[in-house]
A and B are shown apart, each in its own frame.
Chain A
Amino acid sequence: MNKPARGSLLSIEHLEDKEILGLLRLARRMNPLKARPLLRNKRVVLLFYEASTRTRSSFEIAAKSLGAITTLVQSSGSSIEKGESLLDTGYTLRAVGADAIVIRHPAAGAPHLMARHLDIPVINAGDGMHEHPSQALLDAFTILKHKKSFQGLQIAIIGDIYHSRVTRSNCHLLTRFGAKITLCGPPEFVPDVAATLAPGLRVARHIEEALRGADVIMLLRLQKERLAGQKIRLQDYIARYQMTAARVKLAKRDAIVMHPGPIIRGLELTAEVADGPQSRIIDEVHNGVPTRMAILARALGKAK
């Protein structure tokens, strides 16, 4: 087993502070509409074993904006359906000339396995319940557009924490720079052990407690595809945890509302909140492109 190639992005947990700050700085300078073709003649393979709208399209647009050639490989319609292993798929993509692989996979650690066996950068676009580093970076990017710094920021993350790779990445990133995070939801979604993930985390069971004084409200979708037999009564969940305009008022007046998407209106949030003045949900999607441009430029050694 080897070390991952330089430029790989596997997790936030093991990414150094200066790398995070460097990526955020680089992302601020990226503009998809007037980008220099830093990645001309580079081939970026988007290897998606799971459904995706935002992450896939924004990685693709990011790569193309920088002049790269992209190819999409999905589990359906490829040899993965015929039983090809993850590593053999990786070797195959390397052999056709991939310079970097962006991978989304339902199994935690799948990008790490690939990175240990390939000599090209591997970028984690979401692995099971583990991490989603590019989402955490674009969330950080979005927050910094509205808040001066992360230091002392009160952040409430509400919903299905257990299944959320976005939350794991966000907790690692934001607490590292001084944010205080309150995780909120029912015990089956927010086990007590969640608070041990990083320093500066706490668990709250009542949404009022989580929202009071919050600068940022992050909402999460209930991940039906990962529930694995867990039974949750949606009406109870909505009554206790749905983000309504009234609940948003419990947070600071200038609080922003975020959600990694896809959102389910009427479930974890009302349409009024999703489309309300404090919502930054569409901004997040928009910011995904420059953030991923920065990630790809760094991966292929073109980050200046």
Chain B
Amino acid sequence: MANDKSKAGSLLIKGGHLIDPAAKINTPMDILLRDGRVAEVALPNKIRGGADEKFEARGLVVAPGFIDLHVHLREPGQGYKETIATGTAAAAAGGFTSVCTMPNTAPVVDTDEWVAWLKHPERGAVVNVFPIAAATVNSRGSALTDFAALQRAGAVAVTDDGKPILDDEIMRAALRLGAELNLPVVQHAEDTRLTENASMNEGLTSFRLGLRGMPAAAEANIVDRDVTLAQEIRESRLHVAHLSTSDALKAVRRGKRARARVTCEVTPHHFTLLDEDIGEYNTNFKMNPPLRAKADREAVLVALADGTVDAIATDHAPHATHEKQVEFERAAFGITGLETALALAITKLHREHKIPLTRIVELFTAGPARVFDLRGRGSLVRGNFADVTIFDPKKRWTFEAAKSRSLSLNTPFDCWQFTGKVVATIVGGRVVYRAG
């Protein structure tokens, strides 16, 4: 990991406005980072003694380093789409200091060797990489992987992402084993029996475009079943990936009310876009779960504001041009998202929908840290890892896909104008990204 490479010195972040929801701080504070940890957090100008370096953060928000629970960095095996080096560079530019990588690579990350491989310094990661391992062998959905060995190697959760764990007994067994090890099971909730050959949300737009649709029920059915299982297996931890529908949220609320350990994440594209935005078959608007109808987006916005949603996660899914410049039905599912997540959250959630900045920061920090139990992260209390994200909530800028650090350009947000921009990303006390 980046912060293991070399010993970081000390860095004083001065004059910024600290938002640290876990520590209930929302006030001007200076922060001293030393030896990869938070050494001191104090009122402005109260930190005594020098630092090797100073960061002037006047007018900026200083926050715990952002954590993305859901990225596809495509290694091993698909380095033409993205590598750990390019993907983590994009993460750093987006303010993320930690990313959790999905195991649907080639081969699938279903052994402790592959988990260790992902974490090896030779991968060239510039932010922390937390692998999520496959829940079943080769993600085929039939035999569970060795959760304990995967966890020992560093996996923070298990999933068959890209595919659901459909079989009731396998899902039950995964949650049981996860409960024993305190390991979350992440579900890509899609009843694939209802989504065969479908390439977008089922509704007015799919009918008009002549595309087969994925009904909202395909997501809700699986979430509903999983929440029931999570309630039944008391210590199990269920995390619902990229939740996109109103009915799935109802199931999550039911689980939370019953005090089951159920969490969920929402992507920036699902709180921003609608199925009708696909326009004339623009494949950069094709992902799974698909962009939904207005009522679903409204429900997602409410859940982001009221605390039902635990984290914003990007589902960053890079694809090469030749996989996207094809017929819509044949195009790969997925879009990139690391570099636009904060800008979308501030532009859409904060400015348009009036969700407080503290809540937005929580969704990028304390929320995701809790979901996967990432100790020492998600808050900047003394002794925690020196992972910091500094951003300007008022800065206006235009995102240009061509300038992305990602190896792939498949974003629907090319040329979008945003308010809110990452200024610096600090991992383990070292600045890994600084806006030019």
Taking Cβ atoms with an 8 Å cutoff, the residues of A that contact B are 13, 85-87, 105, 107-110, 112-113, 117, 127-131, 162, 165, 168, 191, 193-194, 196-197, 228-229
Contact = CB atoms under 8 A, between A and B. Distances in A.
B326 A86 contact: yes
A168 B325 contact: no
B373 interface: no
B207 A109 contact: no
A197 B325 contact: no
A193 B329 CA distance: 21
B330 interface: yes
Contact of B207 (A87, A110, A194, A228): A194
Contact of B210 (A113, A127, A229): A127
Nearest to A10: B280
B287 interface: no
Contacts of B417: none
Contacts of A110: 327
Given A109-B281, A129-B212, A193-B203, 18 more contacts: A13-B208, A85-B325, A87-B326, A105-B327, A107-B327, A107-B330, A108-B329, A109-B280, A109-B328, A110-B327, A113-B326, A113-B327, A127-B210, A130-B209, A165-B210, A196-B204, A228-B196, A228-B212
B218 interface: no
Interface string B71-104: 0000000000000000000000000000000000
Chain A CB within 10 Å, residue with most, of B196, B208, B327, B329: B327
Contacts of B330: 107
A113 B329 contact: no
30 contacts: A85-B322, A107-B327, A107-B330, A108-B210, A108-B211, A108-B281, A109-B280, A109-B281, A109-B327, A109-B329, A110-B327, A113-B281, A113-B326, A113-B327, A113-B328, A128-B210, A128-B211, A130-B209, A130-B210, A168-B208, A191-B207, A193-B203, A193-B204, A196-B204, A196-B207, A196-B208, A197-B208, A228-B196, A228-B197, A228-B212
Given A109-B280, A109-B281, A87 B210 contact: no
Contacts of B210: 108, 127-131, 165, 168
A86 B207 CA distance: 24
Contacts of B325: 85, 87, 113, 117
B74 to A, nearest CB: 21
Query: Which 4 pairs show the lowest CB-CB distances between chains A and B?
Result: A109-B281, A130-B210, A129-B210, A107-B327
Contacts of A108: 209-211, 281, 327-329
B326 A112 contact: no
Contacts of B281: 108-109, 112-113
Given A107-B327, A127-B210, A191-B207, A112 B197 contact: no
Nearest to B213: A193
Contacts of A112: 280-281
Among A109, A113, A117, the one with the most B-chain Cβ atoms within 10 Å of its Cβ is: A109
Contacts of A196: 204, 207-208
A197 B207 contact: yes
Nearest to B206: A193
Contacts of A127: 210
Contacts of B329: 107-109, 128
Contacts of A107: 327-330
A127 B203 CA distance: 19
A193 B326 CA distance: 28
A255 B29 CA distance: 81
A196 B293 CA distance: 14
Nearest to A85: B326
Nearest to A163: B210
- Most chain A beta-carbon contacts within 10 A, residue among B210, B280, B281: B210
Contacts of B322: 85
A75 B197 CA distance: 21
Interface in B180-214: 196-197, 203-204, 207-212
| A105, A107, A112, A130 pick with most chain B CB within 10 angstroms | A107
Contacts of A131: 210
A85 to B, nearest CB: 6
Contacts of B207: 162, 191, 193-194, 196-197
A130 B197 CA distance: 15
A110 to B, nearest CB: 5
Contacts of B211: 108-109, 128-130
A194 B203 CA distance: 10
Residue with the greatest number of chain B CB neighbours at <10 A, chosen from A113, A162, A191, A194? A113
A57 to B, nearest CB: 24
Contacts of B326: 85-87, 113
Interface in B279-294: 280-281
Contacts of A105: 327
A79 to B, nearest CB: 16
A113 B327 CA distance: 7
Contacts of B212: 129, 228
Contacts of A113: 281, 325-328
Interface in B288-326: 322, 325-326
B31 to A, nearest CB: 45
A150 to B, nearest CB: 21
A109 B281 CA distance: 6
A86 B327 contact: yes
A86 B209 CA distance: 19
Contacts of B280: 109, 112
A107 B325 CA distance: 13
A127 B327 CA distance: 10
A147 B204 CA distance: 31
A129 B207 CA distance: 9
A157 to B, nearest CB: 15
B196 A229 contact: yes
Contact of B209 (A109, A162, A194, A228): A109
A142 to B, nearest CB: 23
A117 B210 CA distance: 22
A128 B327 CA distance: 11
Nearest to B211: A108
Contacts of B327: 86, 105, 107-110, 113
Nearest to A193: B207
Contacts of A229: 196
A118 to B, nearest CB: 13
